[in-house]
Amino acid sequence: MTAAALFPHRLTIVTGHYGTGKTEFSVNLALALAAEGERVSLADMDIVNPYFRSRERRSLLEEAGVRLVAAPQALSDADVPALPAELHAVLEDRMVRGVLDIGGDPSGARVLARYRPRILKEDYQLLYIVNANRPEVRTAKRSAEYLRAIETVTGLVCTGLVNNTHLCGETTSEDVRHGVNLAEEISQATGVPVICHAAEARFIPQLLDLALFPITIRMKKPWE
């Protein structure tokens, strides 16, 4: 299944607890959509987490035809509540597929609330990224609480779950399957459907029974 078919809405808002892999997923989704011929803008709205920001892959994204919308370079290493004016163009231009990479947890998602009136007028999906290996959200109860808190802060409704369970370079196919179980439990608790399971392409042979969104690791820790 193509990325455009798997994620058919014009705006894809990516949320979840920090460390779940939101930025990795966002970058891969933007690149996949661009490879399929879509006009794509990726908005880096993470003003909380100093690591794994979409803006760190500006060259890769722009070479692939993805327009990156992020804070000015002078503020690229500063955690300040500053967002570029170009973000409005992403929300308003209905010829563009927008991917919005939001900061982790309810505090990081708060920045999205100011754009709620505009977003509600658009065809959007709000995805909650699940990583069963994150201690803070490794239970369905705790993860569901985070999901609902993000909805409360943003005023938007979560429309889908994406299992992105990983352990960075130590990830195995068993980790992904562990995340499948958690995602299904969260879905049962919240009524939010599981859209797919994100996993490195190397795991495809072991996970053929799952609705997969293949990814390539693009983000690295600052010291790597």
Q: How confident is the model over 155-198, as pLDDT tens digits? A: 999 999 999 998 877 888 999 999 999 999 999 999 999 999 99
Of 85-89, 130-134, 150-154, the least confident: 85-89
Entry pTM? 0.90
How many angstroms separate the CA atoms of 75 and 58, rounded? 14
Q: Which residue, among 146, 32, 186, 176, has the nearest Cα to 12 in the 3D structure?
A: 32
- Contact 162/147 with Cβ under 8 angstroms? no
How many angstroms separate the CA atoms of 44 and 21, rounded?
A: 14
As a whole number of angstroms, the distance between CA 80 and CA 1 comes to 38
Beta carbons of 106 and 80 less than 8 angstroms apart: no
